[in-house]
Amino acid sequence: MAEDCCSFQLISGDGVLNMEGLENFSRTTNLSQHGVSYAVVAIMGPQSGGKSTLLNELFQTDFRMMDADDGRTQTTQGIWIAKSIGIEPFTIAIDVEGSDSRERGQEGATFGKQSALFALAIADIVMINMWCHDIGREHASYRPLLKAVFEAMLRLFRARKTTLLFVLRDQTKTPFERLELGLRKDIEKIWAEIPKPDTYKGTPLGDFFKVEITALPSYEFQEVEFKEQVDLLRQRFISPTGLTGDKNEAEPASGFLVRAEKIWKTIKDNKDLDLPALKVMVATVRCEEIAKEKLRQFTIDDDWLALKEAVQAGPVSRFGATLSSILENYLSQ
């Protein structure tokens, strides 16, 4: 019987942690028996970028993949977890919901930040899946999201060395060395721009993150070459001197459940990440503008000015009713 990867949804699309599922996963895989000899690998990136496909090829997991015949729609919802097959040390694979989906729209910005931060906080290796031609672009290359999660990471969690593996999909004719140079410059610039706590001011990126970059051919048009390159990448996960992050301060596998629960709670409680969608922010600003304009009109209203002048001479008959009528006129607008 083939070995089971035991995949399940760790965090729902509504942001609810499945603690019962995590406990069952731990029992079924004997996770706690692995001490510090284990690794956690997460992947994040835009929707329909082939993240689940890549994880399944690398780790022989069974994450649900997009069916191209059904159109480019959201496949992974929330955060999923599975045990890698045929990888030593014991490796947990985490599949994060794709960013920039039309299903979530602008409402998905907060969950995108939360899930990306969770991946960075819990994983030894975070694979950032992006299209090769998106290097140098602002949103498509993940720059705003990386800025937000880097800043929150330094603020909320104790620093530890994590490997960032940028996977450039559908490699173009541009020499890899040029792509790598441009991407490394972008990452260094992002790190330099984020505000840092006094403890970490002046600290270079390399103290927190080991940056690795690789490129893969098109899965759709060069499937054979794609699988050959993925197999080579898989060997780097198996190698003792491979991609696994700095494990000097690794916590034992028996504490993984508690760590996942605490990390997600910390992220959910951090209101700085709970930003409203753009349409909500626009509506808020517009309502404030309308309120200010109505207040300005009220202060120059002829009836209000006449009432204001009349009370200087003494009590005014039907003052309350008159004022209420004026106020109601503007408040109703």
Q: Are residues 111 and 135 in the same domain?
A: yes
Residues 218 and 299 grouped into a single domain:
no
- Domain total in the chain: 2
Q: What is the dihedral sign for C-alpha 129, 110, 91, 150? A: positive
Range of the domain at 244: 8-275
Are 308 and 162 within one domain?
Answer: no
Q: What is the mean pLDDT of each run of 10 residues along the chain (333 residues)?
A: 81 92 95 91 86 93 66 66 91 84 55 87 91 71 75 77 91 89 90 86 88 92 93 84 59 90 90 58 72 90 91 90 91 87
Between CA 267 and CA 25 the distance in angstroms is 22
Q: Do 214 and 283 reside in the same domain of the chain?
A: no
Q: How far is CA 193 from CA 146, 187, 190, in A?
A: 11, 10, 5
Residues 116 and 130 in one domain: yes
Q: pLDDT value at position 172?
A: 84
Domain shared by 306 and 257, yes or no:
no
Q: In this structure, are 257 and 289 located in the same domain?
A: no
pLDDT of residue 139: 57
**Under 8 Å between Cβ of 63 and 233:** no
pLDDT number for residue 136? 66
For residue 73, what pLDDT is reported? 45
- Give the model's pLDDT for residue 89: 86
Same domain, 41 and 75: yes
Q: How far apart are CA 190 and CA 146, in angstroms?
A: 7
Q: How does 212-245 read in b/e, with b if 16+ C-beta sit within 10 Å?
A: bbbbbbebeeeeeebeebbeebbeebeeeeebbb
